[in-house]
Amino acid sequence: MGQLNDQIAIVTGAGRGIGKAIALRFAEEGAHVVCLSRTEANAESAAAAVREKGRQAWAFAVDVSDTEKTQETAAAVLKETGRVDILVNNAGVTRDDLLMRMSEEAWDTVLDTNLKGAFSLCKAFTRPFMKQRQGRIINISSVIGLIGNAGQTNYAASKAGLIGLTKSIARELSARNITCNAIAPGFIETDMTAELNEDQKAGILGQIPLKQLGNPEDIAHAAVYLAGPGGRYVTGQVLTVDGGMVM
């Protein structure tokens, strides 16, 4: 039996990168997975990969920055699955620019997706979790939310906001056996880091004591820990998975 045997997990941003790695790792640990992505194709691709591991999967296309659609999707998920045990808020976007040039649209897009989207889903599943007297919430933040980064004021604010959201939810819901934690990845090999040139990569590696980028599976393993039996007594925490970048 896996650590998450027959539990139902919902993962946002499941279409690629960290989200897909979490969805597949959960499936390997016995969970059935609801895959959310902005596009139907990406959601279906992730769900198909979960099914290949012998677990049930559901695919939903939704832009989590749209609160109304997100609430509708949450209701549809519960109707389809009957329950949800684990919620992973991973969906995120970047719109990088220096503060003096950053548009209001770039600010709103990042905050609405990265922070408001997580808020909407946490709110949608709070009542079901409370009725179950059980639930695990994992918010994917970033080391950028801990240390900031030039040209990413919007992204840093959204990821720092997730940490505050996480700690507040943990305090509100702990009495009902619901945990809420955050994972703060460092520089992970994804589509975004693939666009960096060699000089940029060298500069990043110079900041990392382990002298290597992480991979999505590193974050997935951390998510399994927080969602599984080992995370039973952990709540309101930020687990940095960053090769020692933030100490």
**Cβ atoms < 10 Å from Cβ of 220:** 25
Spatial CA neighbour of 217 closest among 23, 42, 87, 41 = 23
Beta bridge partners of 136: 86, 179
Catalytic residue among 155, 156, 190, 223: 155
CA-CA distances (angstroms) from residue 173 to 22, 176, 181, 238? 24, 6, 12, 17
Beta bridge partners of 140: 183
Q: 5-32: b or e for each residue (b if 16 or more CB lie within 10 Å)?
A: eebbbbbbbbbebbbbbbbbbbbbbbbb
Catalytic residue status for 233:
no
Show which residues are catalytic.
155
